[in-house]
Amino acid sequence: MLMEGCGAIAACPLLSPHQAMSKAFNQHNNLSLLNQCNRSTHIHQVHARLIKTNNAHNNFYLSKLLSLFIQTNHLHEARLLFDHAKRPNTLVWNTLLKAYVHNGLSFEALLLFKNMVRSGISPDSYTFPFLFKACAGVDDSNLGFSFHSVILKLGLENNLYVQNSMVDMYCKCRCVDYGRKVFDEMGERDLVSWTSIISGYAKVGEMQMAELLFGLMPEKDVVSWGAIISGFAQNDCSDEALVFFHEMQIHGIRPGEVAIVSALGACAKLGLWSLGLWLHGYVVRHGFRLSVFIGTALVDMYSKCGDIENARNLFNLMTEKSIASWNSIIGGLAMNGCAEEALSMYSEMDKAGVEPNSITLSSVLCACRHGGLVEEGFYYFDSMNREFGISPNLDHYGCMVDLLGRAGYMNEAYELIKGMPIEPNEVVWGALLGACKIHRNLKLGEYALERLVELDPQNSGNYVLLSNMYAMLGRSEDVERVREAMRDMGIEKPRGSSSVEVDSIVHEFYAGDQSHPDISKIYEKLAELYSKIEALGYSAYLDSEMYSVESF
């Protein structure tokens, strides 16, 4: 039996039985050939056959042919074919709309829809999901509102796929309240509906609501688990992300790439090397491909946990590397004190033909800062705009001020700040204040603190830096004056803390804390380390008049 969409005409009285059978046979062959196409050369041959059999403008065949060109990454040829179509129907327009959206060409998709309406073609329930994805792609909620009103006029507001795409669009455009309104009015919800609204709340940082909705889900799949885990990870709730990752395994759900990458990111932020190592083993044991996403997350985790050797090895094993991969290894080398190697890796990146972005240059300048490489820092800083058209941002200026200040070029650091085309922030002035403490430049330090107080009056760290500077210079009255100012403004100095993971146990230490059961052994080891570094010629300066944490 022939499909009606193929144009079956066996009953047509204008054709003889022989002609009708011959045409039906051709249509059957055309459809079979279209279904079997898997290479671009075959597609061109089938296209030629359709022209020869006068079927090139049949909208059903045209839609199939467009899909084949798109599947084989020949979008340009698909557009040429579409432009030569005589009377493309809604199905054909939708096919090209889908291709544009799935290839990230949201603006082009919206222009195509504009032409579709001008051509007198009415959209249907399949059109709008693509349009809402395009709105999310260009972050235009106002246009999404317009399409929403059209849907109401066409009576498509109860279509599940349309509703899901609306919820997704509103959430991705950070209009979560509107997405929630659509979600609440839905008569039927599926996994996509729930996952979209949970992801929306996570996107705007409302993790309490995201967690509540996740708990109310009637059923959960790997995508919904990935959404809640990544939501916690992206909102700096690393502990919660790992708790949910563990719960996911308890429920027997095999983690997907999103959950694994998010869990690795949480390990990186918490410095949980052993758990990150276990996750790496999990990836290997369960046959996950070392994709660019998983590979980059592993490199980042090992780097931030101080295991630069494993970070190097993973990076070298990656067959596909993105700009994020290069940024992770360059930044990792920089933060682990391998400044020269970080710059060498940057050169390798250049040889590989990968163009740096703003984050890359931040990592490079960070390497120069850690290595005290002033000349190199200036070179890379100047190359940003000259070679790559990247305007330095506050992070770049902060790195340069810190680099110059630490090296003792205080006036140069200050002149750089004065010449900034953007307003300096807390990071920039904080870098200058820190350098002033190192080099005991009290006058410039006081000026830097004035600027910091204007920007962030409740930050206790700035006051402590200045008071410590006064203490180093023996100016106890000024130290007391800073303390009084802090008390008058109700500013309290939080106790400094650090943590270290040993045998899968995280030990946290606070400044002045003597409560750890092995505190005597810890101080013995510290004394041993001091002796070793002093033997190498390092002389630690201990401020004789530094005030205790409790005094603040």
Close Cβ partners of 86 (under 8 Å, ≥ 6 residues apart): 57
Tell me the angle at which helices 374-388 and 358-371 cross, rounded to the nearest 10 degrees: 170
Token code pair at residue 400: 């340069």
pLDDT exceeds 50 at position 544: no
pLDDT tens for 155-190 read 999 999 999 999 999 999 999 999 999 999 999 999
pLDDT at residue 459 tops 60: yes
Section 528-540 average pLDDT? 75
**pLDDT at residue 105 is higher than 80:** yes
- How many whole angstroms from its chain centre is CA 343? 24
In contact, 92 and 115? CB cutoff 8 Å: no
- Among 343, 348, 383, which residue's Cα sits nearest to residue 363? 343
Q: Which amino acid would we find at residue 94?
A: N
* Position with higher pLDDT, 272 vs 80: 272
- Give the pair of three-digit tokens for residue 497: 């803390």
Mean pLDDT, the chain, integer: 85
Give the whole-angstrom CA distance, residue 247 versus residue 442. Answer: 54
Lowest-pLDDT choice from 32-41, 239-248, 349-358, 534-543:
32-41
pLDDT, greater one: 58 or 11: 58
Using CA atoms, how far apart are residues 239 and 269, in angstroms rounded to an integer?
A: 10
Q: Report, in angstroms and rounded to the nearest whole number, the Rg of the chain calculated over CA atoms.
A: 31
More confident of the two residues 327 and 60: 327
Q: Is 6 or 149 the better-scoring residue by pLDDT?
A: 149
Q: How far apart are the first and last CA of the chain?
A: 88
Residues 365/400, Cβ–Cβ less than 8 Å? yes
CA distance 132 to 320: 32
Interval 321-337 mean pLDDT = 96
Lowest-confidence range among 59-68, 253-262, 359-368, 486-495?
486-495
Q: Please report which confidence band the pLDDT of residue 85 belongs to, taking 50, 70 and 90 as the band edges.
A: confident
CA-based nearest residue to 332, from 320, 354, 314, 319: 314
**Cα–Cα distance measured from residue 88 to residue 91, given in angstroms and rounded to the nearest whole number:** 8
Confidence of residue 6 (pLDDT cuts 50, 70, 90): very low
Output the pLDDT for position 513: 73
Which pTM value belongs to this model? 0.78
pLDDT of residue 11: 39
pLDDT digit string, tens, across residues 390-428 = 999 999 999 999 999 999 999 999 999 999 999 999 899
- Residue 508's pLDDT is what? 73
Query: pLDDT band at 93, cuts 50/70/90?
Result: very high
Angle CA(479)–CA(485)–CA(488) in degrees, nearest 5? 145
The proportion of the chain whose per-residue pLDDT surpasses 90, expressed as a percent, equals 61
What is the model's pLDDT at position 52? 61
Least confident of 6-15, 164-173, 236-245: 6-15
What is the rounded CA–CA span in Å between residue 110 and residue 129?
12
pLDDT band at 23 (very low <50, low <70, confident <90, very high): very low
**Which letter does DSSP use for residue 538 in this model?**
-
Region of poorest pLDDT, from 86-90, 371-375, 482-486? 482-486
> What pLDDT sits at residue 43?
64
User: In 3-state terms, what secondary structure has residue 89?
Assistant: coil
User: Which of 9-23, 83-97, 257-271, 408-422 has the weakest average pLDDT?
Assistant: 9-23
DSSP-assigned letters across all residues of 348-391: HHHHTTPPP-HHHHHHHHHHHHHHT-HHHHHHHHHHHHHHH-PP
Task: Quick: pLDDT tens for 508-526.
Answer: 777 667 778 888 888 888 8
